[in-house]
Chain A
């Protein structure tokens, strides 16, 4: 379904369902009532975004060590306990949200940007270019995300930027495939024919008319990928091939001393794991709701 028809249908549908389309807040309130789980997911995600944005303002120092406080249990002053070096676990979790979100959002955005360009070009140019893109996609998709990201992370070397790049490349074929198939069906739509009839160039049609109509599936796909990119970053860091020290990464918090000291200091295992699971849970809830809202085939 294209936006040209979907927009009309959707607003009619939303109005019939009782949505107030005159104000943004009204629409948001309606969507929150309609998709309570999705709204809960969005709230969880937003909390982590705010934590990441205002981590410095909390006054929590993730790097301050204190040998006398090594493996201190959760309590006053250190609400989630301390690690082997006496660093505050809460501070590291709050600052770790920056790494998680930077890699999650960064790699999803980069993978989507390249994937959209390649998918749009592939669907529009067709011929040999399309065939080549399809085959390269096959190659990249024949390896699991984590294996591909592991090899790439090792190749590029440990850094925040390289981790983002390593996770974004395996995403490109997924995005390119969805955008390509959308482009192929959009090319046959009457509004594209109309644009051609008034003499618009092919590239202008692709960018001005076709591209905006692929936004809805792209949002659904990007939100679905966000959770898996955050999990992949955590796995890479857990295996020691992700974002390097001194950045506080949730995945590495679990690998550093957590496994060794799980008997004396179970908080080292429990809290970073909860943080990872919660943020991915939030994005998954949000992704499900967005898919229901934007993908007419999935709508119940």
Chain B
């Protein structure tokens, strides 16, 4: 077990090292840097000023030097300075993380609370009208772009209340909290809930055919206990992987939803930083996302062992 953990941790570090190189090189492929953008858009006409900016930001140094500087600083907790705001990148990123984390947490909660019970229901009533309706709804959930769902919600808010919720860090009332956090979270989580529902259904169907379920029924166990205690416990093991993967990948949904609802989280900030070629922000944010994904995957593997004692990773 210990050697497995050490091997996994080393692999995680190797993966993150690779991601850092990929991201660093990709950003340097970009035609035009921040100096070009400032030069073009801010109307600076003096080329010497542009050259000064390039030198000041170190963009004229060899690529390997720029990379080593970034990684060295990162190891010491120094994320560099945002090219745009000229504030330390950490100061720009850190306050935005709790906003996105809260949204992602609520979205995940929404997707599990909706997805798992509906998946069980759909499996238990296989081939019924309810099953067909739930399957079609879940497939629609997977087909609808999150940003469109968000726009539809905003349109509905406009039609019902005459205005759309504007983000504030301190909601004044319960209903404002619902509008500002729960509604966008539901929009982000809708797709995941559809995915979790489909997986719970197929996993439940497989488990419900097993002998021990027949034994439980023949012993006279009530149907609800067979479904939710005996079957769900085993069916939930593969679903956990999806929940874990979705937790990490919710960031895709966050990017567009934060943009639609104008929420100042890290996901929307990433898009803005990409548009402005703000390298310190982009590369550190992407690394942060990679760390979250890799860590969540690792935790899911460990959780797998706890949920299913039959799973033991080879020494």
Residues of A within 8 A of B (CB): 135-136, 138-140, 142-147, 150-152, 154-157, 227, 231, 234-235, 238-241, 251, 254, 258-259, 262-263, 266, 269-270, 273, 276-278, 280-281, 284-285, 288, 298, 300
**Cβ B143 vs Cβ A150 within 8 A:** no
Given contacts A143-B286, A263-B158, contact A135 B29 (CB under 8 A): no
Interface presence of B140 (CB below 8 A): yes
Q: A147-B270, A155-B29, A231-B145 are in contact. List 11 more A-B contacts (CB 8 A).
A: A142-B16, A143-B19, A143-B286, A144-B249, A144-B252, A146-B255, A147-B251, A234-B145, A238-B145, A239-B255, A262-B154
Classify the interface of chain B: helix, strand, loop or mixed: helix
Partner of A288, one of B18, B139, B146: B139
**Cβ A150 vs Cβ B144 within 8 A:** no
Interface presence of B44 (CB below 8 A): no
Given contacts A258-B151, A262-B154, contact A139 B145 (CB under 8 A): no
Interface presence of B248 (CB below 8 A): yes
Number of interface residues of B (CB under 8 A): 49
**Cβ A277 vs Cβ B274 within 8 A:** no
In whole angstroms, how far apart are the Cα atoms of A230 and B282 in the complex?
25
Which B9-30 residues have a C-beta within 8 angstroms of A? 11, 14-16, 18-19, 22-23, 26-27, 29-30
In whole angstroms, how far apart are the Cα atoms of A241 and B248 in the complex?
23
| A-contacting 9-mer, from B50-58, B215-223, B225-233, B289-297 | B289-297
**Cβ B19 vs Cβ A142 within 8 A:** yes
In whole angstroms, how far apart are the Cα atoms of A144 and B142 in the complex?
16
> B18 — which chain A residues lie within 8 A by C-beta?
135-136, 138-139
> A145 — which chain B residues lie within 8 A by C-beta?
249, 252
Nearest-Cβ distance from residue B180 to partner chain A, whole angstroms: 18
Partner of B248, one of A139, A144, A146, A259: A144
Most B Cβ at <10 Å: residue of A145, A156, A273, A298: A273
Which B236-254 residues have a C-beta within 8 angstroms of A? 248-249, 251-252
> A273 — which chain B residues lie within 8 A by C-beta?
144-145, 148, 151-152
- Give the residue name and chain of the A residue nearest to B260 (CB): A259
**Cβ B143 vs Cβ A280 within 8 A:** yes
In whole angstroms, how far apart are the Cα atoms of A281 and B148 in the complex?
14
> A152 — which chain B residues lie within 8 A by C-beta?
26
In whole angstroms, how far apart are the Cα atoms of A234 and B146 in the complex?
10
- Give the residue name and chain of the A residue nearest to B191 (CB): A231
Interface presence of B309 (CB below 8 A): no
Nearest-Cβ distance from residue A169 to partner chain B, whole angstroms: 10
Nearest-Cβ distance from residue A136 to partner chain B, whole angstroms: 7
CB < 8 Å A-B pair total: 137
> A147 — which chain B residues lie within 8 A by C-beta?
251-252, 255, 270, 286, 289
In whole angstroms, how far apart are the Cα atoms of A140 and B23 in the complex?
10
Indicate with 1 or 0, residue by residue over B136-173, a CB within 8 angstroms of chain A CB atoms: 00011011111110011011001000000000000000
> B290 — which chain A residues lie within 8 A by C-beta?
142-143
**Cβ B270 vs Cβ A156 within 8 A:** no
**Cβ A151 vs Cβ B26 within 8 A:** yes
- Give the residue name and chain of the B residue nearest to A146 (CB): B252
**Cβ B151 vs Cβ A254 within 8 A:** yes
Given contacts A150-B255, A259-B260, contact A139 B143 (CB under 8 A): no
In whole angstroms, how far apart are the Cα atoms of A259 and B154 in the complex?
9
**Cβ B147 vs Cβ A139 within 8 A:** no
Q: Can you name 16 A-B residue pairings with CB atoms under 8 Å?
A: A143-B19, A144-B249, A150-B270, A151-B282, A154-B277, A155-B29, A157-B30, A235-B147, A235-B252, A235-B256, A238-B256, A280-B142, A281-B140, A281-B143, A288-B139, A298-B202
Interface presence of B271 (CB below 8 A): yes
Q: Which 9 A-B pairs have the closest CB atoms?
A: A146-B252, A273-B148, A139-B18, A281-B143, A280-B143, A155-B29, A144-B252, A144-B249, A155-B26
In whole angstroms, how far apart are the Cα atoms of A150 and B259 in the complex?
14
Interface presence of B47 (CB below 8 A): no
**Cβ B15 vs Cβ A142 within 8 A:** yes
Nearest-Cβ distance from residue A207 to partner chain B, whole angstroms: 30
> A146 — which chain B residues lie within 8 A by C-beta?
251-252, 255-256
Partner of B23, one of A151, A238, A278, A285: A151
Indicate with 1 or 0, residue by residue over B30-56, a CB within 8 angstroms of chain A CB atoms: 110000000000000000000000000
